[in-house]
């Protein structure tokens, strides 16, 4: 079996648009301006992938979880003057300096590339001289405040406590607790965080649950010295029985639906949502060959259609696999060093770590996702991938009865692929048919 690599010409670049970096932090980011059974392996040649670059409003987060320990890595998709950047993230515990760090800037991209839905292609063999097929195998900054004393009194009046303060990389971090949401909202505004209207309403449930607030700003001097043009991901580690991802704060600045891709890394198997349905993205579909040059359009339209069909309030499973292998590979498996960068804390330097990845894609709006995402670990290691298949017909002359029979069934096969494409995407069936291969069976059959 041949897998594509960066040096392998089989692999083509996907036809994707550049991700527009936006001034919000969705998912658990709150952006503020001025502040089962074994399955058969999938053989084939990887051609293109549906990564997060397909979406204009996409955020990524990786969660490595084992027992009660969580390592959360968040992308910072921010456009604008970094002096105006800040974020607020609800967290279950007070974090200390040694629990927060800046992650490798490319690690989320690596997880994305490895787990992205993929397009693969096959080539039919000469039906008159078939070769035996190989047996498939089973896979099991400081805050701008007044005099410090006066500020402390004001904080107490508002019910806001600065539990911890430290700097990590280019970020200055505060960990806040609050007694009530109006006080916290006032504190944020008085400290030059221009937050959207309605903040108090969304902050209140987190305060009621006893959660803390991770507040980050950019230290301009450190950022200038870092040499990085874009803000790097932030990563936090903590112990908590809560296995969740707060997304409601991320909806406050949202002018449209948000796309969120979550990479859940575990030792045992899939992580699943407990408070929303999870639906497998349509997969293993045979589609016409011309989609090879339009895969980005295909996947975005298919996802939109599936999203509408499921009522706009589900999570889509796009990938579930043991990270020690892939079939077919849209990117090489992550090395143990890269897995450690992604937060996998059970890495053993002397053996390959046991890591299972679950990729969930959530498109959400405030009126469709009223609750944060709550997960549970499972031992389910059933494999799944969003996979779409191009099969090239054998079009050379044939001279055997089996070859003639093969030719006669090709039009029906092309029609089935056209109908599948129309059903998945909503594309016009007649437009699809006009782009199917045109066969002259009498010229291709050379039966004697």
Backbone region of residue 443 per phi and psi (left: phi > 0; alpha: psi in -120 to 50; beta: other values): alpha
pLDDT for 223? 82
Q: Average of pLDDT values for 168-175?
A: 92
Is the CB of residue 310 less than 8 Å from the CB of residue 279?
A: yes
Per residue in 274-329, pLDDT (tens digit) is 999 999 999 999 999 999 999 999 999 999 999 999 999 999 999 999 998 888 88
Q: Rounded to an integer, what distance in angstroms lies between the CA atom of residue 41 and that of residue 87?
A: 42
pLDDT at residue 7 is higher than 70: no
Q: How far is CA 162 from CA 187, 209, 279, in A?
A: 11, 18, 41
Q: What pLDDT, on the 0 to 100 scale, is given for residue 339?
A: 94
pLDDT band, very low/low/confident/very high, at 137 (cuts 50, 70, 90)? very low
User: In terms of Cα–Cα distance, which of 362, 374, 268, 274 is closest to 312?
Assistant: 362
Of the given ranges (61-65, 130-134, 167-171, 385-389), which has the lowest mean pLDDT? 130-134
For the stretch 353-382, pLDDT in tens is: 799 999 999 998 877 888 899 999 999 999
What residues contact residue 350 under an 8 Å CB cut-off, 6+ apart? none
Q: Answer with the residue of higher pLDDT: 71 or 37.
A: 71
Average pLDDT over residues 120-125: 91
Contact in structure between 137 and 42 (CB atoms under 8 Å): no
Q: Which residues are CB-contacts of 239 (< 8 A; sequence separation ≥ 6)?
A: 68, 69, 70, 93
Nearest to 373 by CA among 361, 386, 357: 361
- On the question of pLDDT at 21 being above 90, the answer is no
Residues 287, 298 contacting (CB under 8 angstroms) = yes
How many Å is the Cα radius of gyration of the chain? 25
Report helix, strand or coil for 99. Answer: helix
> With 50 as the cut, is the pLDDT of residue 162 above it?
yes
Summarize pLDDT for 242-287 with one digit per residue, the tens: 999 988 876 665 567 889 999 999 999 999 999 999 999 999 999 9
Work out the mean pLDDT of the chain and round it to a whole number: 81
Residue 182 CA to residue 56 CA, distance in Å, equals 33
**Domains in the chain: boundaries:** 30-392, 395-448
CA angle 82, 92, 202 (to 5 degrees): 65
Q: How far apart are CA 261 and CA 353, in angstroms?
A: 23
The pLDDT-based confidence of 26 (bands split at 50, 70, 90) is very low
Contact 245, 262 (CB under 8 A): yes
């Amino acid at each position: 079996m041949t897998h594509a690599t960066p040096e392998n010409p089989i692999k083509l670049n996907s036809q994707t648009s550049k991700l527009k970096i936006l001034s919000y932090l969705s998912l658990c980011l709150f952006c503020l301006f001025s502040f089962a059974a074994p399955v058969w392996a999938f053989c084939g040649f990887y051609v293109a992938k549906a990564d997060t670059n397909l979406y204009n409003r996409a955020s990524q987060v990786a969660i490595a979880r084992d027992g009660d320990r969580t390592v959360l890595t968040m992308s910072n998709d921010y456009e604008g003057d970094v002096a105006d950047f800040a974020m607020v993230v609800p967290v279950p515990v007070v974090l200390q300096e040694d629990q927060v760090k800046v992650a490798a800037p490319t690690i989320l991209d690596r997880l994305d590339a490895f787990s992205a839905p993929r397009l693969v292609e096959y080539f039919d063999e000469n039906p008159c001289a078939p070769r035996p097929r190989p047996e498939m195998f089973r896979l099991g900054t400081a805050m701008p405040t007044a005099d410090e004393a006066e500020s402390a009194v004001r904080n107490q009046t508002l019910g806001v406590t600065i539990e911890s303060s430290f700097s990590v990389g280019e970020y200055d971090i505060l960990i806040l607790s609050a007694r009530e949401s109006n006080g916290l909202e006032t504190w944020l505004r008085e400290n030059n965080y221009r937050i959207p209207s309605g903040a108090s309403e969304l902050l209140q449930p987190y305060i009621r649950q006893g959660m803390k607030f991770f507040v980050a700003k950019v230290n301009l001097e450190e950022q200038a010295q870092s040499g990085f043009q874009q803000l790097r991901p932030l990563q936090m580690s903590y112990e908590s029985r809560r296995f969740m991802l707060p997304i409601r704060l991320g909806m406050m600045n949202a002018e449209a639906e948000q796309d969120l891709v979550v990479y859940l890394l575990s030792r045992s198997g899939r992580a699943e949502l407990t408070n929303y349905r999870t639906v497998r993205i349509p997969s293993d579909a045979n589609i016409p060959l011309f989609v090879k040059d339009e895969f980005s359009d295909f996947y975005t339209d298919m996802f939109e259609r599936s999203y509408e069909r499921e009522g706009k309030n589900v999570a889509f499973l796009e990938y579930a696999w043991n990270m020690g292998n892939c079939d077919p590979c849209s990117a090489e498996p992550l090395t143990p060093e890269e897995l450690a960068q992604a937060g996998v804390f059970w890495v053993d330097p002397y053996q390959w770590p046991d890591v299972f990845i679950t990729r969930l894609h959530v498109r959400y709006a405030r009126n469709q996702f009223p609750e944060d995402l709550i997960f549970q670990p499972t031992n389910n290691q059933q494999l799944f991938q969003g996979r779409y298949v191009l099969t090239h017909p054998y079009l050379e002359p044939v001279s055997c009865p089996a070859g003639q029979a093969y030719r006669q069934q090709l039009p029906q096969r092309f029609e089935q692929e056209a109908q599948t494409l129309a059903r998945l995407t909503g594309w016009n069936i007649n437009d699809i048919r006009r782009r199917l291969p045109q066969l002259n069976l009498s010229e291709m059959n050379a039966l004697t």
